[in-house]
Amino acid sequence: MDEKEEQQKTNQAANEPAPIPEKTPGPIPPQPTTHQSEAPLRNDIAKILSETKMPERRDLKGGADTPAQKSNEPTSIPRDTPAEKAPKIPIPQSPDIPSVRTFKDDVSKLVRGSKISLVRAATLEQEKRRGQEPASPTFSGPSRKRILTALAVVLVLVTVGALALFVVSVVQSQRSGGGGAAVTQSPALIFTEQTLPLTIQAGARARDVLSLLKQARETSSLTLGAITRIIPVGISTNPDTAELMQSTMTTQEFFASLQTHATESLSRTFSPEFFLGIHTIEQNVPVFVVPIISYERAFAGMLAWEKDMNADLSPFFTPVPYERQGADGSITLSQFEDAVIRNFDVRVLRDAQDTITMLYAFPTRDILIIAESPHSFVEVLSRLRAERRL
């Protein structure tokens, strides 16, 4: 029995691991392979790890050791402390060497070194990522050329516009009679699209004045339905200073220059201001509007002037032969007759084709209208209503 007990103790002692010194660092000697259970092996490994010294962290900066490096005491974790509750060991870092390089640090260095804005730095980074060249703040050759071309075009257009305004002003001054004082134009009785001054020399013959009016009628070019106002301007010489003077003619002066057969009584019933124009329809036709002072005397004077009216105003008005031949071959005299246009009583003169070529009417007791076409009469009526004169 004693030998068996001693043999068991010897075997048990042989199976136990050799003790490891507590303060002796070094490699762990190889252990014999055993066939024991896993529980004793885990206990042995935990015991070895708890007694092993942990190495200390040294600073990356060269030079003398820090106080933490001079200490030779090991830092260990208590056995019974779980991993979650283990104290965190501070890791000293050098203030001069950053541990991690970030985009923020790169941008800060770029802003400080190159003295550019954050927006510019972000733009450069985006272009770098896209593989593009950095945008230059200066204008490139083609873009600068386009800008200069646009400026040149604008300058040319402004110059042409200024030249056009100058030409228009010169033409208007020439139409108004050139030198001398400017003619004061009274407001027109009706709205017109264009105004044309007509210069009439003092003492001019009636034939010359009518030729000027006919030329103005033929040269007027406006859109369909438009009216051109003609302002007769008289030119005379100042007997004291021998200077040319010009002024807008009154109704009496204008009729005197035409040397018509209108009675003196009719001329006195006309208002000093009148309207003389050209209406554009199929062709240019004349129209005459004058305010009346006395309706009774004006109506009587127009009846007396009917037989000579067309001849006195031709060729400004289309001439109508004094005699005309009817459909049956009979010869009749051309004379005015009564008609109704737009509910207004008018006196009309017809040609050989029975077409109205001249008319006159009193739409109100203070307005007289003389026209060549019924269309002109209707147009003048509408414009008089627009001016609240009818």
384: pLDDT strictly greater than 90: yes
Q: Any bridge partners for residue 235, and if so which?
A: 201, 246
What pLDDT sits at residue 68?
45
Q: Range with the lowest mean pLDDT among 58-62, 122-126, 323-327?
A: 58-62
Query: What is the rounded distance in angstroms from the CA atom of residue 279 to the CA atom of residue 222?
Result: 9
pLDDT band at 178 (very low <50, low <70, confident <90, very high): very low
296: pLDDT strictly greater than 90: yes
Tell me the pLDDT tens digit for each residue of 69-108. 444 554 555 554 454 555 555 555 555 555 566 766 776 7
- Highest mean pLDDT among 65-74, 303-312, 319-328 belongs to 303-312
Tell me the pLDDT tens digit for each residue of 342-382. 999 999 999 888 899 999 999 999 999 999 999 999 999 99
pLDDT band at 34 (very low <50, low <70, confident <90, very high): very low
46: pLDDT strictly greater than 80: no
Sign of CA dihedral 373, 378, 382, 385: positive
Tell me the pLDDT tens digit for each residue of 104-132. 677 677 667 766 676 677 777 777 776 65
Average pLDDT value over all residues in the chain:
77
What pLDDT sits at residue 311?
92
What is the rounded average pLDDT of the residues 254-278? 93
271: pLDDT strictly greater than 60: yes
Q: Collect all residues with Cβ–Cβ distance below 8 Å to 145 and sequence separation of at least 6.
A: none
Decide if 274 contacts 367 (C-beta within 8 A): no
Decide if 222 contacts 228 (C-beta within 8 A): yes
Tell me the pLDDT tens digit for each residue of 197-238. 999 988 889 999 999 999 999 988 888 999 999 999 998 777
pLDDT band at 261 (very low <50, low <70, confident <90, very high): very high
Pick 287 or 37 by higher pLDDT.
Answer: 287
Query: What is the rounded distance in angstroms from the CA atom of residue 123 to the CA atom of residue 135?
Result: 9
Query: What is the rounded distance in angstroms from the CA atom of residue 369 to the CA atom of residue 312?
Result: 16
Q: Any bridge partners for residue 270, and if so which?
A: 292
What pLDDT sits at residue 245?
81
Indicate the pTM of the whole model.
0.54
What pLDDT sits at residue 69?
47
* Structure-token match 């220059």, residue found: 257
What is the rounded average pLDDT of the residues 247-270? 92
Q: Range with the lowest mean pLDDT among 44-48, 179-183, 195-199, 216-220?
A: 179-183
- Give the CA diameter of the chain: 185
pLDDT > 90: what percent of the chain? 38
What is the rounded average pLDDT of the residues 267-283? 93
Sign of CA dihedral 67, 71, 76, 78: negative
Residue 199 CA: distances (Å) to CA of 6, 57, 235, 260: 160, 115, 7, 19
Which residue type sits at 65? D
291: pLDDT strictly greater than 70: yes
What pLDDT sits at residue 98?
55
